[in-house]
Every structure is written in C-alpha cells, then in structure tokens.
Structure 1
Amino acid sequence: MLPFLHIKLVGQDGWGVTYSSTEICALKGSTVNMSCTYRYPPTVQRVENRFWFRTVVKENYTDLKTDPEYSGRVQYNCVNNICILRITDLRESDSAEYKFRFITDQEGGKHSGLSGVTLSVTESPSAEIVEGSSVTLTCSSDANPAANYTWYKKNGDADLYPLSKEPQLVFSSIQSSDSGEYYCTAENKLWGKMSKYIYINVTYAPRLPSVSVSPSAEIVEGSSVTLTCSSDANPAAKYTWYKKNGDPDLQPLSKEPQLVFSSIQSSDSGEYYCTAENELGRRTSKYIYVNVTYAPKLPSVSVSPSAEIVEGSSVTLTCSSDANPAAKYTWYKEEQKLLQSPEGSYYLTSISSEDGGNYSCKAQNQHGQTSSSVDSDL
C-alpha cells in the first residue's frame, strides 16, 4: 500500500482539524483506522464532546457510535488532541465521507474539518478472477500536489514499459496471459513512491486437451503402452479416459492423466479420448487411434467343396489367420512350396490322384509365423 503524505487543513483563530489521510481504499470485511488532530485556542477551558460522523447527501452530526448501521463496529481512541476512528467488518455501504467534530465550552466552539476522509470499500482482490471478466486495478495515494500514476507488470525486464498512466489499470476482458504481479508508482514534484506488488491470478476453463501415446513407434502386442492427456487449465484440470465403443453409458477407464497398458493386447486396439474438467468447464479431446500389431494366430484351413472330391473336379484350399499387419500365406505339399500370396487360397482346377497328400499353410508377418495342415484324400 502506498504511504500517505500528511495534509493540514488549519482553520482561522487557532481552530482546525488535521486529517492524516483524506482518501482511503479498504477491502470489504477488513478493518480501517482514520486519524485526525484537532486544535482550539488556549482560551478554551474544556472539550465537552468529540465524535466522528458521516456525511451522505448533506452534512449531519450524528455520532457514528449511535448510528444503528455501525452498531458494534465503531471504536474511538482519543488522546492528546488526536482521535482515531476504527471501523471493523467493513461493508460496501460504508463507502462515504467521514468527518470529525468537537464541541467546547466556549461560545461558538463547535468545529469540524473543512473536508473529511473519503473511504472506498471494495471487494477483496483475492476473489476469483475468471478469464473474460472485467477487472480494474486502482492506485491511490494521498498527496499534495496530486500524484501522477503509472502502472507496470513485473517481468524482470529492466526497461519496463508502462501499461497505463492513469490511476486505474482496466482489463475489459482479462486473459490468462494477464496473470502476474503488478505495481504502480505515485509521483509529484516533491516525491515519488512505488506500491507493493499485487498478484493477479486469472482462472479459466480447460483448453482443448492434447493426447499422446508412448512409445510413438509401432505398438506390439504384449508391450507397455501409455496414453497421456494434458490440458492448460487454472485451477488444474481433472482427467478421465474413455474408449469409443458406441455405448452411451460409457464407463471411464481411468481418472488419471495417464492410461497405462502394462501388457497391451490386440483387443485393446481402438479409438480413445479423454476429458479435462475443472469448476469452470469441461473439454473433450480428439480421438487417438491405438493400433496393436501382433503375429499371426493359428491359421484355419478349409477345403471346398467339403463333400467327396471327384477326380477331374476343381478344389480350393483356403487358409486364413488373424494378424496385424495382414499375413502373407504360403502353401506347401509334403514340404514342397506351391504358392505364396496374400490371399491365402490355392486352386486345383482338374484334380487327379497325383494331387492327393498332405497340404500345409504358413501365415507370416514381421512379428512371427505359424502353420496349419490339411489332408486331401483322393
């Protein structure tokens, strides 16, 4: 808080009231002290009464101690012509001008300050500041002549550029990038002072979450895989992971930023997404596709037609295997290679007794191979 310069308002003939501050800004719910010194001529024998009062529309002289609005919240401490007013549990309705008045035993000895103390009660700056809202920082200092104000943001740059040369620094739509420490300076031709830092913490809903998979290379069945969800948010977001499966009543897979597969399986292939949520909002990420590769499973082989095979007819041997990437197939007869193709079918157009025997099929990709056999009984 900026220090106040001392201002004297001295009346004629030795009468007068001096206020240590003529403008005070205070926070709602806090306590404020207002101080004054009062003077009177030496001919005065006794001060009969002294009190603080509040001016609203027109000056009145109701002692604050008797004002129901201030019941239990006002204290005076008056010693040696100095009188301090303390108001506790400040309310926004307490914003007003306050004056001190004293009454003596001398005829006409009723005096109050020509001006008073203006009190401004505002909401605490510790209240949550939400991105997009309007925020005003106010710098004030009691000075004569009046002070010139300048606002800065603390950023470690020795050549700081002022943000404003007005008493108020206004953010009409404050952004997360505006978070940080601010301070102001008050200067007149006699002196200059710098305020303490005030920290502005701008809260905001999560940004669009980003998702990543580790390792980023090919995912092989049985390996360890981690999906990570991250979102810029203030306060920090909470995360939930889901797998896209068309079920409207999706059950979360994890409520952590990471979804971990210690030994991923082919059944884990699919599209995944996450949500990031705080009290200000919720965002859903784009889908990330997890493609689990694996060696061919045991091939299934079949003969068509499946009924009795007649010499001279056509016969098709078919081999298929679940694999990722797709398998390549090789047909053998009694260990002799017949055909290699991605389709897995071998055709006998006019079968004869010489075609009888044991046939086998091998399915293979870069992760492994496996075989199955079939007997052709001609």
Structure 2
Amino acid sequence: MSVVFLSVSLLPKFPQVYVGDDVTLICNRKKEIKPTKWFINGIQQSHQDYLMLLTTVTPKNNGVYQCEQGGSMSDPLKLTVLGMNTILNVHNRLFLMIFHSFSELEPHAQLSPSIGGAVMNKGEGRNLVLQVDDDLKDWACFALMGESSFPLGVNLDEKAKRAVILVALKEAERDTLWCKKKGTTLRSNAVTLKMTELMVMLVPPAVPVLQGETVALRCVVWGSPKLESVVFYRNQTKLRSSPEGTYIITNTTQDDNGKYSCRATYTFTHISGEAEQQEGDSDAQELKVV
C-alpha cells in the first residue's frame, strides 16, 4: 500500500506576503479528490475545494493551514502576512506599533493600473505601471492565471523610472500580477484584475482600500451609453439609486466590507436618438478594507 504525502502550496510563490495580496492555497493539486477538508490552526473550515483563494489578506489570515484528502493529512503551511501589528488612535492621530521596520512591511515597488479599476471586459487590454526607485533593468513582471505563472513583456521608461506592462484577459476569470527584482526577494505589490462578460460592470479600486480612505465604486456599461439610472447593492441589499453611476464611501471601515453590485438602466443615444432603454446587472465584486 503506497503512502500519499500531501502538501499545501502557496501561489504566487511570494517570499513574503503583504497586506492586500491575493494568494491561493492548493492542496497537493489533486482536483479529482473531493471533498478536501481544510484546517486553520487545527480548526476545520467549511471550504471543501482543493483550492482555497484568500483575497486582500491581512494579519487576520495568519495561521497554520493544513488540508486532508482521502484520510491523509498534509504537512502544515504557516502563513504570515506582513503588516501593522496594532493601530492606536490617540488624539485623532494614528500611532503604529509594529514588529518590523516599514521597509520590511511594504513592497519595494508600486504596481498600479494607469487608468481603470480591477474589472475589465473579456479581451480588453489594460496598462499597468511599475514604479521603482532603483534600476528598472533588473525587474521582471509575471502573471498568475489559474495555477500557472507566466512572464510578461515590460516596456521600460528609464528616465521616468517606470515601466508599462500591457495585460489582456482572454480566458482566466482573474489574473494576479506582480513584478520582482531579479536575484533578490524584493517585489512590487500584487494587482488582481477580474474579467466579466456582462455589459454592466461594478468596478472597485485595483489596489487595497485602507481604513479611513474615501473609495469610489463605479458602475460602468460597455460601449459608454447614456446612463438613465443606477442602483447599487451590498450583499444583495439595495443601497441607493444614482444617476451618476458612482457610489462614494467616505471614511471607510471594515463594516463596509462586502460584495457590491449594480443594476444600470441605459440608452445608446449616440447610435440612435430613438434607442430603447436597456437594463443589466453587474457581477458582484468584493470590497475589503484593510
């Protein structure tokens, strides 16, 4: 009788995991074995898929992760998210108590979309901009699509100390992108882009939202028709209607976390002055304040 050795692997294979990263835990890549049992710090979870997606992680996700398939238990994987240990609000000023220096807590470079948010239509292109303080020649960028990582082409602008990366989503529902300095463990923040095939999109920011920030959630319709009305929802509960197509949340807290969506009524008046009104719903998109 053969002995099956299970393991939990982390994708992308980040040397450090930072606050705001999206990471995937995989139980030995055995898709055909169902269900998979997951344990965090010895406590069984309700999740039963061989793959566990953790979005916009914080130190609350720290712990020891194990999985079980066919009665065999995996070795433990310890996940540590580098971030602030404690936040104290004293006289309306934030004082940070941390175990590490700021340079260790934050990514070494910044990666962000030049325009647009985290959601895009199938086949649409999106430019990401990488900004670093050192030599860009030593940096390479990658994309995680499903369970496979691929290198990306990088267009360098050395004078501006930045690089531009063009990304298009064709098949994968989501794409996590990051850049890394060759021969080191230094990397940028990770950006996750999500694909939709719907006419209506709820577009959250492509970078994590920090507590206290103001965030704008946009309801966008492919083809840029005239918006007649937009209704925003959080966890399928109606928030409010808006003719502008933007929902603003000021002074965000973790109470604002949830799945946001929108329903748009629109008219393609630039095609025909007599065009009929149309309606459509967006996919639900997660907002997580860290």
Name the TM tier (shorter chain). under 0.3
**TM-score, scaled to structure 2:** 0.27
**Structure possessing the higher radius of gyration over alpha carbons:** 1
Q: Which has the higher contact order (CA 8 A, sep 6+)?
A: 2
**TM-score, scaled to structure 1:** 0.22
